[in-house]
């Protein structure tokens, strides 16, 4: 029997391991299963190259719980270890590996991604004693290593006859909850549901596939079918060949749908489309990303992109790996090239990670281009569900902005969908004002801005419907990308002022009359919020129109949705409106010519309230007064 000290220089590693992030004790299982998986893959490789004279069989990893003995056992059928190898790999390599990991971890507590790399010694997070019984595929006696959490260990021969390694964890008193089947089942499902080697966790009853229940008829012709024969089989908890590990050419549309359902069993909406990632140079990455159907009631944070490493779950926090705007996607990425023992900030500096992030952005862009080209009608149908992600991407990544010009859509109130270039082409002649500004008209809400939309469409203008929260930032960017293009919301002014043409409307009122009228209206309106503006417009247009100056509104919106670009302090600026009075409207002439001061005031108030009403600005006492006044008028 051998006894020894693992490493005299660091006696305190065990208490350190135990103290290691309390909530992450669960990773011990993933680490030990990964070792079993590696041991199985290595053996497979050795057999393949003729260096191991043995059969792999249907090698699996078995996880079992013994509540009475208070143990959890993880048993593999991999290459095993000789006694000398235990000495080398467990006492020296694994130990110094754990030591190194903890050393890094100490300085970098919460930042480490997925806490990979602690390895074999993570067993001591939950166990007070660990036994390792192993038999190598080589012709050598089995070895039995025991360690009770002190740096001392024992190593003796064992009579284990079958190849592979068995780790027996004697669960510590403070970790007994790990002896619950549900707990272990949950962890297997979280970390290992796509493990490369099958994992057996108990058994289950299934209908015997070899057996066909017989149906018999009695004298009256009533049919009875006998019960199905049940058999007990291994409960294999994982799918060893998930869709993302296959070649895109080998998968059909329904395979992707099935995988989406497998990944998110609680998600009842189908995904809109998928992007299969598959690259092996200059880095290794596979995965499938899904564009989810975003519905406002859905908890967007719930089903996130999952990061795997060689089919083992690491984390669903892909910050720093996947560009921000794509974090609303779902699916899986699997890459052995993402360093996990660094902090999040360390990730950003990593060359491979930067390339990965760039590659994902490019693939998503390419896929969108091809979907758009392949079936534009279908793309238009999906636009509402994907626009937020794309608009966010256009704002945050310049390369994506350039690519998105090919497929980003701008829907109109009449349900046409234009690309930006198509829109500019279509409206170039009609919507360019006398100063050469190409005015892109848009509305944020079809109902609220109804009268303005109508006025614009009657003139034959195209009005876009742009209602995303970040759209004001995007408009700013689009304006910057095209010369003399100006976005203007339809209610920013009277339509004739939004796109000013050469033909000036002649005012029915003389300058003198206008000068007389202005203070009369200002006195009746009596509000600092409204700036009265008298303008000669089409006589059929409304007499009073309330407008929100484009610049002011957009700055406020940009500030509200964050992301910079807004003017300092604009967010707190009070609402300001223009009250545009159409001096060519017959009603305005009536107001001017009415010599009864009270009646004149009444007319102004009534017209002003109607203008407010059309902008949904009439509330409370003002609304009550308006209704009373209106009834009085029709009496």
- Which residues of this chain interact with ligand ATP, rule CB under 6 A? 31, 35-36, 38-39, 76, 78-79, 81, 89-90, 93-94, 97, 117, 119-120, 165
Please report how close the Cβ of residue 396 comes to ligand ATP at its closest, in angstroms. Answer: 34
Known binding residue 165? Answer is yes
In the complex, the smallest distance separating the C-beta of residue 151 from ligand ATP, rounded to whole angstroms, is 16
> Residue 32 in contact with residue 123, Cβ under 8 Å?
yes
Q: Was 554 annotated as part of a binding site?
A: no
By beta-carbon proximity to ligand ATP, the closer residue of 81 and 285 is: 81
Q: 97 a known binding residue?
A: yes
State the Cα–Cα distance between residues 400 and 396, nearest whole angstrom: 8
| Nearer to ligand ATP among residue 34 and residue 431 (C-beta) | 34
Tell me whether residue 119 or residue 566 sits nearer to ligand ATP (CB atom): 119
Smallest gap from Cβ 146 to ligand ATP, in A, equals 15
CA distance 438 to 450: 23
CB of 247 to ligand ATP, least distance (A): 28
Q: Is 344 annotated as a binding residue?
A: yes
Query: Which two three-digit tokens encode residue 217?
Result: 């008829």
Q: How far is 587 from 612, CA to CA, in rounded Å?
A: 17
> Is 76 annotated to bind ligand?
yes
Query: Which residue has the closest beta carbon to ligand ATP?
Result: 119
Which candidate, 142, 145, 161, places its Cα nearest to that of 92?
145
Q: How far is the CB of 176 from ligand ATP (least distance, A)?
A: 24
What the block records as the tokens of 255 is 């395979």
> Whole-number minimum distance, CB 81 to ligand ATP, in Å?
5
Sign of CA dihedral 191, 193, 197, 202: positive
Residue 207 assigned as binding residue: no
Do 553 and 573 meet the contact criterion of CB atoms below 8 Å apart?
no
What residues does 614 pair with on adjacent strands?
none
Nearest residue (CB) to ligand ATP, 141 versus 597: 141
Query: What DSSP state is assigned to residue 492?
Result: G
> Counting every residue, how long is the chain?
635
Smallest separation (angstroms) from ligand ATP to the CB of 26? 16
- In the bound state with ligand ATP, the residue whose beta carbon lies nearer, of 21 and 414, is 21
The token duo for 125 is 């997070």
Closest CB to ligand ATP among residues 90, 443: 90
SS3 408: coil
**Residue 134 or 547: which CB sits closer to ligand ATP?**
134
Confirm whether residue 96 is marked as ligand binding: yes
Question: β-strand 230-236 against 199-207: which pairing, if any?
Answer: antiparallel
| β-strands 164-171, 127-135 pairing | antiparallel
Cα four-point dihedral sign 424, 425, 427, 433: positive
CA-nearest of 191, 151, 143 to 167 is: 143
Longest Cα separation, the chain: 118
Known binding residues for ATP are: 31, 35, 76, 81, 96-97, 165, 344
């Amino acid at each position: 029997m051998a006894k020894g000290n693992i490493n005299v220089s660091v006696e305190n590693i065990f208490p350190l391991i135990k103290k290691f992030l309390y909530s992450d004790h669960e990773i011990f299982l993933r680490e030990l299963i990964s070792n079993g998986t590696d041991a199985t893959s290595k053996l497979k490789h050795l057999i393949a190259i003729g260096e191991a004279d043995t059969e792999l069989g249907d090698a699996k990893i078995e996880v079992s719980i013994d509540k009475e003995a208070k143990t959890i056992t993880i048993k593999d059928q991999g290459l095993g270890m000789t006694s000398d190898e235990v000495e080398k790999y467990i006492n020296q390599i694994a130990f110094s590996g754990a030591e190194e990991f903890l050393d890094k971890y100490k300085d970098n507590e919460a930042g480490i991604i997925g806490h990979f790399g602690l390895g074999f010694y993570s067993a001591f997070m939950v166990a007070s004693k660990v036994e390792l019984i192993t038999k190598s595929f080589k012709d050598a006696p089995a070895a039995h290593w025991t360690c009770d959490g002190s740096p001392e260990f024992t190593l003796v021969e064992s009579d284990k006859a079958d190849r592979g390694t068995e780790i027996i964890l004697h669960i510590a008193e403070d970790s007994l909850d790990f002896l619950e089947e549900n707990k272990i089942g949950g962890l297997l499902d979280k970390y290992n549901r796509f493990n490369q080697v099958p994992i057996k966790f108990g058994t289950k009853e299934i209908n015997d596939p070899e057996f066909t229940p017989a149906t018999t008829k009695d004298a009256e012709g009533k049919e009875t079918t006998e019960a199905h024969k049940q058999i007990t089989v291994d409960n294999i908890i994982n799918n060893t060949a998930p869709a993302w590990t296959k070649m895109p050419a080998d998968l059909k549309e329904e395979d992707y749908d099935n995988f989406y359902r497998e990944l998110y069993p609680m998600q009842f909406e189908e995904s809109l489309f998928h992007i299969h990632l598959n690259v092996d140079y200059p880095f290794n990455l596979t995965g499938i990303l899904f564009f989810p159907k975003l519905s406002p009631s859905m908890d967007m944070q719930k089903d996130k992109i999952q990061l795997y490493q060689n089919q083992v779950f690491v984390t669903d926090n892909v910050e720093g790996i996947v560009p921000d705007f794509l974090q609303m996607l779902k699916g899986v990425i699997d890459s052995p090239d993402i360093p996990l023992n660094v902090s999040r900030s360390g990730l950003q500096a990593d060359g491979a990670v930067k390339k990965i992030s760039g590659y994902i952005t490019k693939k998503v862009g390419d896929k969108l281009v091809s979907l758009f080209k392949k079936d534009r009608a279908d793309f238009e149908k999906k636009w509402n569900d994907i626009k937020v992600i794309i608009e966010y991407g256009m704002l945050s990544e310049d390369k994506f902005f350039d690519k998105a010009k090919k497929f980003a859509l701008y829907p109109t109130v009449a349900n046409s969908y234009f690309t930006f270039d198509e829109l500019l082409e279509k409206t170039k002649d009609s919507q360019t004002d006398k100063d050469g500004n190409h005015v892109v008209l848009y509305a944020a809400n079809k109902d609220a801005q109804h009268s303005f939309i109508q006025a614009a469409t009657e003139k034959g203008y195209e009005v876009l419907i742009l209602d995303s929260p970040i759209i004001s930032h995007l408009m700013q960017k689009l304006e910057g990308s095209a010369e003399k293009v100006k976005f203007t919301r339809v209610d920013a002014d009277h339509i004739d002022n939004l796109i000013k043409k050469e033909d000036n409307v002649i005012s029915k009122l003389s300058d003198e009359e206008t000068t007389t009228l202005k203070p009369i209206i200002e006195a009746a309106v009596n509000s600092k919020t409204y700036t009265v503006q008298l303008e000669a417009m089409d006589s059929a247009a409304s007499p009073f129109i309330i407008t929100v100056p484009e610049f002011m509104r957009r700055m406020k919106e940009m500030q509200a949705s964050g992301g910079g670009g807004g003017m300092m302090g604009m967010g707190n600026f009070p609402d300001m409106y223009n009250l545009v009075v159409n001096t060519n409207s017959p009603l305005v002439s009536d107001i001017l010519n009415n010599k009864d001061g009270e009646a004149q005031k009444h007319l102004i108030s009534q017209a002003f309230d109607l203008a407010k009403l059309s902008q949904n600005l009439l509330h409370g006492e003002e609304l009550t007064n308006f209704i009373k006044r209106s009834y009085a008028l029709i009496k």
